Amino acid sequence: MFSNIPFDRVNWFTSGFLVLTFLAALIGTPLYIIYFGFDPFFLALFAGFFIATGMSITLGYHRLFAHKAFKAKKPVKILTLLFGAAAFEDSALDWASDHRQHHKHVDDEHDDPYAISKGFFWAHMGWIFFKLYPRELTNVNDLKRDPIVMWQHRHHRIIGVLVGLVLPTLIGLAYSGWVGALGGFIFGGLTRLVCVQHCTFLINSLCHTIGNRPYDSTTSARDSWLMAIFTFGEGYHNYHHSFQHDYRNGVKPWQWDPTKWAIWTLKKLGLASDLREVAEEKIILAELRETQKQAEVQLKKSWSITCPNREEAMQKLAELSEKLSEGYTELEQAVSDRMELSREKLSYWRGEVTKTVDQISHLQLLQRQPAQA
């Protein structure tokens, strides 16, 4: 039954920590509420530490250190490294190395550390159960030159314990004695830790399984507005894999991306600079290319057209597809020549993309309807 499991490679300490903290949170949280009642203070403590540690992963570990999407002053680095360690997702150096490897070899089951091609559970957390050390860390030489990052790399476990477990316990103790200390440890420590970790893990698993691919269908990464809610904007994963160095994941103004807003705010406060953005022409170019590709796939599908509505829908989609092909040529030339297109022109082509996506959806709906004799 277990003959295929390489027990010699299992990291028993990490595996035990993940399993025990999950079980402790799952059992301890309801038991505390049963015996001591529900206190909104501990909900606030959970929320505060969830935001602090979760944002330290998304803003710090991910967009600042792994992708260099912006530059930050020392106070921002220190805070994100302290609270990032409290998420118990390894040091920023190790995290960034794994993540850069993932982007370079996405979906490759041999070189992508958490490749979805090896299964949902493997991408979610299974890969962490096995020995990851010693890492070569040859792809983070830039981070090795940062003394603050290296300090955290050497001490991240003790920092994680102090900031992620001891600090909420002490806050609870100050609030209401030993009962508060226990509540702080459970809600601000254990339960928060488990929730933050699995929200991060879901980006590697769920966001490579469910969602839309408006920018690039050659990768398994998908956009999920639902996951963006729980991960401070990280759910727009297809965009991120298409333009990994953009400080924004939710690039559209209406998309939920608190990390993007926080970075922008830090810039206004003088704590961040050099925010990297992909030109809108390139973004729309990717949308045009992918939407036109999807339209061509839909048009080539062989199914009986016996309904006049279907014929009309196919014709309209063919016209839109041809128009997108023309638009792609125009935008590609503009990007190549480094020409800035007017807002009106960009808005027009984005509107054509929306029309085509709607038409594809309409045609797919008609396709599911029973053919009329």
Looking at the structure, tell me whether residues 60 and 132 fall in a common domain. yes
Looking at the structure, tell me whether residues 294 and 348 fall in a common domain. yes
Q: Looking at the domain assignment, is residue 166 inside a domain?
A: yes
Of 257, 273, 289, the residue at which a domain comes to its end is 273
SS (H, E, C) 60-81: HHHHHHHCCCCEECHHHHHHHH
Distance CA 46, CA 63 (A): 24
Domain range for 18 is 7-273
Specify the pTM. Answer: 0.88
**Side-chain half-sphere CA neighbours of 352 within 13 A:** 26
Q: Looking at the domain assignment, is residue 106 inside a domain?
A: yes
Q: Looking at the domain assignment, is residue 2 inside a domain?
A: no
Q: Looking at the domain assignment, is residue 1 inside a domain?
A: no
Q: Looking at the domain assignment, is residue 215 inside a domain?
A: yes
Looking at the structure, tell me whether residues 30 and 104 fall in a common domain. yes
Centre a 10 Å sphere on the Cβ of residue 339 and count the other Cβ atoms it contains. 10
Q: Residue 64: is it exposed, middle or buried by C-beta count within 10 angstroms (0-12/13-18/19+)?
A: buried
Number of structural domains (the chain) is: 2
Q: Which amino acid is at 179?
A: V
Q: Looking at the domain assignment, is residue 373 inside a domain?
A: no
Of 225, 246, 273, the residue at which a domain comes to its end is 273
In terms of Cα–Cα distance, which of 96, 69, 70 is closest to 81?
96
Looking at the structure, tell me whether residues 93 and 131 fall in a common domain. yes
Q: Residue written as tokens 């007017």? A: 342
In terms of Cα–Cα distance, which of 65, 69, 57, 58 is closest to 246?
69
Looking at the structure, tell me whether residues 238 and 319 fall in a common domain. no
Q: Looking at the domain assignment, is residue 208 inside a domain?
A: yes
Query: What is the pLDDT, as a whole number, of residue 314?
Result: 66
Q: H/E element holding 8? A: none
- Return the percent helix, strand and coil in the chain, to nearest 5: 70, 0, 30
Of 253, 273, 293, the residue at which a domain comes to its end is 273
Looking at the structure, tell me whether residues 207 and 343 fall in a common domain. no
Q: Is 42 left (phi over 0), alpha (psi -120 to 50) or beta?
A: alpha
Looking at the structure, tell me whether residues 293 and 259 fall in a common domain. no
Looking at the structure, tell me whether residues 202 and 60 fall in a common domain. yes
Looking at the structure, tell me whether residues 164 and 200 fall in a common domain. yes
Looking at the structure, tell me whether residues 102 and 204 fall in a common domain. yes
Looking at the structure, tell me whether residues 217 and 92 fall in a common domain. yes
Looking at the structure, tell me whether residues 199 and 246 fall in a common domain. yes
223: which strand partners? Answer: 212, 236
Distance CA 157, CA 17 (A): 12
Q: Residue 41: is it exposed, middle or buried by C-beta count within 10 angstroms (0-12/13-18/19+)?
A: middle
Per-residue pLDDT tens digits of the chain, which is 373 residues long: 345 566 678 888 899 999 999 999 999 999 999 999 999 999 999 999 999 999 999 999 999 999 999 999 999 999 999 999 999 999 999 999 999 999 999 999 889 999 999 999 999 999 999 877 777 899 999 999 999 999 999 999 999 999 999 999 999 999 999 999 999 999 999 999 999 999 999 999 999 999 999 999 899 999 999 999 999 999 999 999 999 999 999 999 899 999 999 999 999 999 999 999 998 888 888 887 888 777 777 776 655 555 556 666 667 767 666 777 777 777 777 666 666 766 777 777 777 777 777 777 766 676 666 554 4
Q: Looking at the domain assignment, is residue 261 inside a domain?
A: yes
